[in-house]
Amino acid sequence: MLRRELEYFLGAIRFFTRLPVPAWVGHSAEALNGSARYFPAVGLVVGGLGALVYLAALQLWPQPVAVLLSMAATIYATGAFHEDGLSDAADGLGGGWDKLRILEIMKDSRVGSYGVVALWLGLTGKFVLLAALDPTLVPWALVAGHAVSRHASTLLLATMDYVREDLQSKAKPLATRLSASALLAATCFAVLGLLPLPWPQSLAGCLLAALTTLWLAAKFRRWLGGYTGDCLGAVQQVAEIAFYLGLLAQLPG
């Protein structure tokens, strides 16, 4: 049982990042479906890596430079997996007029104007928001932001249908709906990332992340009838930005 869960976790690390995992970790559709509950746990790892790079860089350079280097580290660790999803989803929803055309655009490896703008806004937004935070909060914000935003993606896995039929799709192994117990496990990992942060800011960040997730889910349901792998990446990116935005909100009192 414990070995199986460890295999699921390491399988999630291999699927969602470029970080090395032991050779004995299995690779199957069943294992990848089981790994979905560890999506926010992967966020803890990726955010933790970004936090370590930030803290090390802060000893030598000003905060904006440290933030930039931490972002570069997380993008390198994931292979821009979710940024690619954001770009493809923006191109599809921006340039498509029906389900088939949107899915066709999402599959196209070329990046269109909507995708470029979405990437620029996403990366610039994260940089500006993190650079504006209290320097002591940035490491914890990175850990929590990556975990909470990946939990937002798991909500789509638990509540929506997978819409693409081809075997080449990024999310095909994750097309099985997440069970209630798996969603609870994913939620626990997301909450774990929130614990070091002040609860009013955490609550505001989670609220904004939830609102953006609901908004995107409604768009995906309307235009596609469900989600694709690119939709999961888009939700992760937008929810992460919304979380940082909530942390910076000037709360009354």
Separation between Cα atoms, residue 123 and residue 241, nearest integer Å = 9
Residue 73 lies in a domain: yes
Residue 224 lies in a domain: yes
The confidence score (pLDDT) of residue 251 equals 66
- Cα-trace Rg, the chain: 17
Number of domains in the chain: 1
Residue 103 lies in a domain: yes
Task: Print pLDDT tens along the chain (253 aa).
Answer: 788 888 889 999 999 999 998 888 867 667 677 788 999 999 999 999 999 999 999 999 999 999 999 999 999 999 999 999 999 999 999 999 899 999 999 999 899 999 999 999 999 999 999 999 999 999 999 999 999 999 999 999 999 999 975 544 555 555 567 888 889 999 999 999 999 999 999 999 999 999 999 999 999 999 999 999 999 999 999 999 999 999 999 766 5
Residue 253 lies in a domain: no
Separation between Cα atoms, residue 227 and residue 178, nearest integer Å = 13
The confidence score (pLDDT) of residue 23 equals 81
Separation between Cα atoms, residue 240 and residue 143, nearest integer Å = 11
Separation between Cα atoms, residue 145 and residue 14, nearest integer Å = 20
Contact between 118 and 86 under an 8 Å Cβ cutoff? The reply is yes
Can you give the pTM of this predicted structure?
Answer: 0.94
Residue 9 lies in a domain: yes
What is the domain extent for residue 104? 2-248
The confidence score (pLDDT) of residue 166 equals 56
The confidence score (pLDDT) of residue 176 equals 64
The confidence score (pLDDT) of residue 3 equals 81
Cα distances (Å, whole numbers) of residue 175 to 29, 98, 117, 159, 195: 9, 22, 29, 11, 31
Residue 239 lies in a domain: yes
Q: Which neighbouring-strand residues pair with 16?
A: none
